[in-house]
Chain A
Amino acid sequence: MDQDAGPVVRPYAMTQGRVAPSGGDFDLVAFVVATVPDLAPGVQLQPEHHAIVAAAWEPISVVELASQLDLSIGVVRVLLGDLRSAGLISLYEPPAATQPHDVDVLKAVVNGLRAL
């Protein structure tokens, strides 16, 4: 399998080797919203940062960002940390994991699945 050989560019090259986002981690299903429509040219950020901001104009989850931009989750998290530090995104954490799932939500899921 080609994928076994790993990516052509080392994934963390685009984060300058940083593997942990600044200011804490991002849940896979946390939602991200850009606070500006696009970054002003000249801001010291990489194309991938711009791509994230553009994709996050409407709320988008961390995992969806990674999939859509074809970047690994770990890399997306570091880049999101940069954007958060710069005040360019807002982060919305999912409800606490210990909370039971809302019965109405479960019903909505079943109804939604039936309608597929």
Chain B
Amino acid sequence: MDSVRSDRNGGSRIPVALKILIAGGFGVGKTTMVGSVSEIRPLQTEEILTGAEGADDVSGVEGKTTTTVTMDFGRITITEDLQLYLFGTPGQDRFWFLWDELSQGALGAVVLADTRRLADCFPSIDYFEQRGTPFVVAVNCFDAEPRFGPDAVARALDLDPGVPVVLFDARDQVAARNVLIELVEYVARRQYAGASA
């Protein structure tokens, strides 16, 4: 837009971007969810293998010094000055270093769960609990599957009181959007409680 361009050097405002992580086990619907609520694009984040992490067994490929990780990246424009970035975090443990950067200053996280393989989301929950990153658990309800109520899931995951658990369908835009709203409202509640404590 021409008006924006001419404004620019007069001091156009720098937007604020907030990060939300979409985590969970492999195949649980992270990509689907990011795609439901935002324009999804791939993001390359290849990193240097230092050999210090001990996570990768590089025997036989010692010459390989970088590893390519492709993440899902989605953007939701809230206002001209406010953008919401969604990152579908890579599931494998060896990419924790990426999580550290992504969760730095993040608004919060959505941990996707599949009740058929609930244990897949344990590492994500542990991670966010340890870092103090607020998160909600969203159970992706696949078709024709026995459903468990949110309370049962919260008990099975041994969640701290107050951590929201919602059932949803990751393919449904409104449902996926509501999960994000649940997260932001939870962050606001936590902050309010923290301020008045």
**Which residues on A are within 8 Å of B, measured CB to CB?**
3, 6-7, 10-12, 19, 27-29, 31, 33, 57-59, 61, 63-64, 66-67, 70-74, 92, 94-97, 100-101, 103, 105-110, 112-114, 116
Q: How far is the CA of A103 from the CA of B43 in the complex (A)?
A: 30
Q: How large is the interface on B (under 10, 10 to 19, 20 to 34, 35 or more residues)?
A: 35 or more
Q: How far is the CA of A92 from the CA of B105 in the complex (A)?
A: 15
**Which residues on B are within 8 Å of A, measured CB to CB?**
4-5, 8, 12, 14-19, 37, 41-48, 66, 68, 70, 73, 75-76, 78-79, 82-85, 101-102, 104-105, 107, 173, 177, 180-181, 184-185, 187-188, 191-192, 194-195
Instruction: Report 21 cross-chain contacts, Cβ distance below 8 Å, ordered by A residue.
Output: A3-B68, A6-B66, A7-B44, A11-B44, A28-B101, A57-B8, A61-B15, A63-B17, A64-B75, A71-B44, A73-B44, A94-B16, A103-B188, A107-B188, A108-B78, A108-B82, A110-B181, A110-B184, A110-B188, A112-B84, A113-B76
Contact residues in B for A95 (Cβ distance below 8 Å): 16, 105
> Contact: B15 with A59, CB < 8 Å?
yes
Within the complex, which residue of A28, A58, A72, A94 is in contact with B12, where a contact is CB–CB below 8 Å? A58
> Contact: B188 with A106, CB < 8 Å?
yes
Q: How far is the CA of A67 from the CA of B8 in the complex (A)?
A: 23
Q: How far is the CA of A29 from the CA of B181 in the complex (A)?
A: 21
> Contact: A97 with B105, CB < 8 Å?
yes
Within the complex, which residue of A19, A72, A109 is in contact with B78, where a contact is CB–CB below 8 Å? A109
Contact residues in A for B107 (Cβ distance below 8 Å): 101, 109
Contact residues in B for A72 (Cβ distance below 8 Å): 44-46, 68
> Contact: B43 with A109, CB < 8 Å?
no
Contact residues in A for B44 (Cβ distance below 8 Å): 7, 11, 66, 70-73
Contact residues in A for B19 (Cβ distance below 8 Å): 28-29
Contact residues in B for A103 (Cβ distance below 8 Å): 188, 191-192
> Contact: A109 with B84, CB < 8 Å?
yes
Contact residues in B for A71 (Cβ distance below 8 Å): 44
Within the complex, which residue of B47, B104, B185 is in contact with A74, where a contact is CB–CB below 8 Å? B47
> Contact: B78 with A29, CB < 8 Å?
no
> Contact: B18 with A109, CB < 8 Å?
yes
Contact residues in B for A28 (Cβ distance below 8 Å): 19, 101-102
Contact residues in A for B16 (Cβ distance below 8 Å): 94-95, 105
> Contact: A101 with B187, CB < 8 Å?
yes
Supply 8 further A-B pairs (C-beta < 8 A) apart from A7-B46, A110-B184, A113-B184. Answer: A29-B19, A29-B105, A59-B15, A72-B45, A94-B16, A103-B188, A106-B188, A112-B79
